Amino acid sequence: MKLWGGRFTKSTDQLALEFQASISFDQKLVIEDIVGSIVHVEMLGAQEILTEEETKTIRDGLIMLLEKAKSGELIYTVEHEDIHMNIEKMLIDLVGPVGGKLHTGRSRNDQSALDVHLYTRRKTAELVESVVALSEAIIKQAENNVDTLLPGYTHLQRAQPVRFAHHLLAYASMLERDMGRLVDSYKRTDTCPLGAGAIAGTTFPIDRQYVQKRLHFANIYENSMDAVSDRDYIVELISALSLIMVHLSRLAEELILWSSEEFQYVELDDAYCTGSSMMPQKKNPDIPELVRGKSGRVFGSLVGLLTMLKALPLSFNKDMQEDKEALFDAVETSENCLVLMRDVIETMTVKKENMLKNIQQSYSNATDLADYLAAKGIPFREAHEITGKTVLYAISQQKYLLELSLEEYQQFSPIVQEDLYEFLAEEQVVEARKSEGGTAKIQVEKQIKQRAEYVDNIKKWLKTVQATQELIAF
């Protein structure tokens, strides 16, 4: 018989039972569910809603189930629908009818909300840790490649030369914002919903602050209807994960391009590539390609969740069960992508000579020719036109700008002198950009220091958060 079946005169249709059951996926919440139940029964005992003996019997039973859950010994059934009813049935089987008193003053609505808050809070910290690890791998590569030059691109055309470290640090900046969003979303997740009941609270003299403090939540929901219907914190996390996946996808695309024979800027480690079943010469960048593809999967979780929520009346509706699969999949997909991209970045080989060659065999120093002319007193718009004509001439002669003679330059502007050649040299072109945030060495080293300091601050936050969560022990 169902634990909620007193009102019903017939059994649930089997297909309907399987359709509405969530145990196939919400069993991921087993630890959170049991931990929340232990604290709930402790509170019932402290408030003398249950006797000391009842409290001890139920609590001891839950501790036994917790140990079995950690070792993977529990067996779940669809007949009991979800993780909450499965655990309660196991508890009753273990300690007898007194186990049914566990649910006093509680609904599955606030119980489920508590489980997801605990899960999301824990996973947010773990995700921050994964972003930190990837960021550190990027910063390390930047430190190793401060003097490595490569063409910078706009419209996927060679634009201006930059330091490879500068290019990598752009992704470190994106990840910095990602860490900030995750840390900020943690604040909304760190709110305790237990005690809200099904919708309107409970008639029992519960102590919500006891549960809040025991589970180390920073805040408590002040409105019971909001507590059981709020999914903003899940949307916020998946939104942050979607932006992380945008950044990973952009980085993945560059790794795919850079590792191609057309670019040959990097060599990806064999451990993160595969071959072709037909073409023996192939080395395919499968991990970056899959990261690029899985970004759409996380976006889908976000859109699906927003669509599910967009017209729901207060408070709880069964539709909200759909939040969990979206959350679990987005979290696990993002975690895997972050870990693998860290490994790819850490192990890749940078082909500095090929990067430099593509600078030298390009017109990416054309802007510097225009700047040279402008510095000599020619209005920039006129200098731009002169440079354009010079580049067109150089192309017709199958030469690059440093290969043109002084006489050839002077046919476009007599103001050009021998000092132009030093001005157009690739190292000078890069080093000349000393404006804040630019690609000159002093600015790149400053960026490395700034990114590293930010990561160190986030690691301090992580240490505090993880220490707090470790206090929840039984």
**DSSP codes, 75-131:** ---GGG-SHHHHHHHHHHHHH-GGGGGGGTT--HHHHHHHHHHHHHHHHHHHHHHHH
Tracing tokens 């986030």 back to the chain, one arrives at 458
Q: Is 396 a catalytic residue?
A: no
- The helices-and-strands tally (H runs, E runs) of the chain is 19, 6
Q: What is the pLDDT of residues 50-83, one digit of tens each?
A: 999 999 999 999 999 999 999 999 999 999 999 9
Instruction: Return the H-helix or E-strand segment holding 157.
Output: strand 157-163
* CA dist list (Å): 250 to 136, 258, 283, 330, 383: 18, 12, 20, 18, 35
- Please tell me the CATH superfamily of domain 11-104, with its number: Fumarase/aspartase (N-terminal domain) (1.10.275.10)
Give me the DSSP letters along 419-456. Answer: HHHHHHSHHHHHHT--STTSSSHHHHHHHHHHHHHHHH
Question: What CA–CA distance (Å, rounded) separates 455 from 385?
Answer: 45
Among 11, 24, 260, 276, the one annotated catalytic: 276
Residue of 420, 345, 373, 379 whose CA lies nearest to 145 = 345
> In CATH, what class is 362-425?
mainly alpha
* Predicted local distance difference test score (pLDDT) of residue 15: 74
Question: What CA–CA distance (Å, rounded) separates 264 from 3?
Answer: 64
Q: Is 155 a catalytic residue?
A: yes
Q: Does domain 109-145+156-352 have CATH number 1.20.810.10?
A: no
Tracing tokens 């709020």 back to the chain, one arrives at 230
The domain ranges of the chain are: 11-104, 109-145+156-352, 362-425
Q: Give burial (CB, 10 Å; 0-12/13-18/19+) of 406.
A: exposed
Question: What CA–CA distance (Å, rounded) separates 152 from 426?
Answer: 12
Low-confidence ranges of the chain (pLDDT < 50): none
* Predicted local distance difference test score (pLDDT) of residue 473: 75
How far apart, in Å, do the first and last CA atoms of the chain sit?
Answer: 32
Q: What is the pTM of this model?
A: 0.93
Question: What CA–CA distance (Å, rounded) separates 347 from 27?
Answer: 36
* Predicted local distance difference test score (pLDDT) of residue 472: 83
Among 155, 277, 396, 405, the one annotated catalytic: 155
Question: What CA–CA distance (Å, rounded) separates 248 from 212?
Answer: 36
Q: Which residues contact 445 (CB under 8 A, 6 or more apart)?
A: 146
